[in-house]
Amino acid sequence: MHPLPRSYLFVPGDRPERFAKALASGADAVVVDLEDAVAPAAKAAARDHVARLLDDSPDRARIVVRINDESADGFDADLDTLRRSGAAAVMLPKAERAATVARLLGACPGIAVLALVETARGVLAAEAVASAPGVQRLVFGTIDYALDMGLQGDLADSVGLDAAAARIALVSRACGLAPPVAGVTAAVADDERCRADLQRARAHGFAAKLCIHPRQVPVVHEVLAPSEQELAWARRVVAAADSGDATHGAVLLDGRMIDRPVIEFARRVLQRAP
């Protein structure tokens, strides 16, 4: 998988005819879904499709499998599919307990876990989940969280999510995880809504987003990429810092002293360049 995926594109696990298109979409990672996108009667067939995909695809490192949650009948069958196919990464829904992560890792040693926080219990338990061995990243399941909390009205998708989003981002940083992944934008054809949703999540410290349609992928990458002006500034700062002119960790640029935290920020800006 990309060292730090910016975009995670969902594709239903029971629609193998869409797998190749999803992998060719430009998304950094593709989430093959065994949970919400698949009807109960189709889940067994979906597991077979996922296993074949992981066996055959040269892009298997970019594939994440979203399994059913621990309370679902298909949880153990999903773990068996992950184990047999050697999946590299899994998205764990309704992540609320470190013990669930441990159970998953016990069945599939070495798999990277993306913990999907989508309930009030999950938000409150985020630190314990993020601290569990094997967790690579937290993901905010905004739609299920809004349902769990009974959020309604015009501000439900923005203000109503802010407290949980801030906690998820703060916990991710404190536990040494990669910045978290923002939830989906259900309005598939509304690029501006997708952009605004991600910009709000970005303000909390998120650095990736779940996508439910290929057209959302370039929007996500555009929002997360630094502007040309930001890149030009960062190059000048880093060049000055690397020139040997830095004094006690600070550098003089345009008559202003720029200290180590700003230099580090400039390096991070360059790392985000396409």
Q: Return the CATH number at 96.
A: 3.20.20.60
**Among the listed residues 133, 114, 134, 116, the one whose alpha carbon sits nearest the alpha carbon of residue 125:** 116
Q: What is the dihedral of CA 98, 103, 104, 110, to 10 degrees?
A: 90
Q: Are residues 212 and 238 in the same domain?
A: no
The tally of domains found in the chain comes to 2
Same domain, 78 and 192: yes
- 267 and 196, same structural domain? no
Together in a domain, 164 and 125: yes
The Cβ of residue 261 has, within 10 Å, a number of other Cβ atoms equal to 9
Query: Domain of 43?
Result: 7-224
**Is 1 within the bounds of a domain?**
no
Q: What is the pLDDT of residue 242?
A: 81
| 206 & 143 share domain | yes
Q: Is 186 a member of any domain?
A: yes
Same domain, 109 and 233: no
| Residue 123 lies inside a defined structural domain of this protein | yes
Strands 256-258 and 251-253, bridge-based pairing: antiparallel
Residue 162 falls inside a structural domain: yes
Burial of 145: CB neighbours in 10 Å, binned 0-12, 13-18, 19+: buried
- Are residue 241 and residue 260 in the same domain, yes or no? yes
Given a contact cutoff of 8 angstroms between Cβ atoms, the answer to whether 60 and 88 are in contact is: yes
Q: Tell me the one-letter amino acid at 163.
A: A
In a domain, 24, yes or no: yes
Q: Which residues pair with 113 in a beta bridge?
A: 90, 135
Instruction: Decide: residue 168, CB within 10 A, 0-12 exposed, 13-18 middle, 19+ buried.
Output: buried
> Is residue 69 domain-shared with residue 89, that is, in the same domain?
yes
Whether residue 151 is found in the same domain as residue 166: yes
Is there a domain that residue 258 lies in?
A: yes
Same domain, 201 and 232: no
Neighbours of 254 (CB within 10 A): 8
Q: Do residue 136 and residue 31 come from a single domain? A: yes
Residue 111's φ and ψ, nearest 5 degrees, are -70, 145
Structural tokens at position 156? 């439900």
What does the block give as tokens for 152?
């309604």
9, 30 Cβ separation under 8 angstroms: yes
* pLDDT mean for each 10 residues of the chain (274 residues): 84 97 97 96 97 92 97 96 96 98 96 98 98 98 96 86 97 97 96 96 96 97 87 84 67 80 83 77
* pLDDT for res 1: 47
One domain, residues 203 and 253: no
Asked if the structure places residue 179 within a domain, the reply is yes
β strands within 184-265, DSSP E: 208-211, 251-253, 256-258
